[in-house]
């Protein structure tokens, strides 16, 4: 009987990176959204603000801003998270 055909490690690594990168990006988006909230982004202005409507939709705006920051390259957190996820998969089997 022939041994099973195995995918070369380089191809496995590329496939894992392609699968895990969106997850790492979403983690960076979540982190950035929290940091933007802590910095005061999305808080209504005192004068001439949008009122209750602005307050209700502020989280969507902050999330969209965080997504745009990550699309533009972010802070490099995606790459660090991706490397950690891939290292975890190598040790888990």
State residue 77's pLDDT score: 93
Give residue 52's pLDDT: 67
Count other Cβ atoms within 10 Å, centred on residue 33: 21
Supply the pTM of this predicted model: 0.74
- What does the pLDDT read at residue 26? 96
pLDDT 10s digit of each residue in the chain, 93 long? Answer: 656 655 555 666 788 889 999 999 999 999 999 999 999 887 766 666 666 677 788 889 999 999 999 999 998 999 999 999 888 777 765
Checking 75-84 for CB contacts under 8 A at 24+ apart, the result is: 75/28, 75/32, 77/27, 77/28, 77/31, 77/32, 78/21, 78/24, 78/25, 78/27, 78/28, 79/24, 81/23, 81/24, 81/27, 81/28, 82/17, 82/20, 82/21, 82/24
């Amino acid at each position: 009987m022939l041994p099973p055909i195995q995918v070369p490690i380089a191809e496995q690594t590329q496939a894992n990176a392609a699968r895990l990168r969106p997850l790492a990006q979403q983690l960076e988006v979540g982190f950035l959204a929290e940091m933007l909230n802590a910095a005061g982004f999305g808080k209504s202005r005192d004068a001439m603000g949008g009122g209750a409507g602005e307050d209700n939709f502020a989280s969507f705006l902050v999330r969209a801003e965080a997504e745009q920051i990550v699309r533009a390259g972010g802070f490099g957190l995606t790459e660090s998270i991706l490397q950690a996820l891939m290292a975890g998969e190598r040790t888990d089997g």
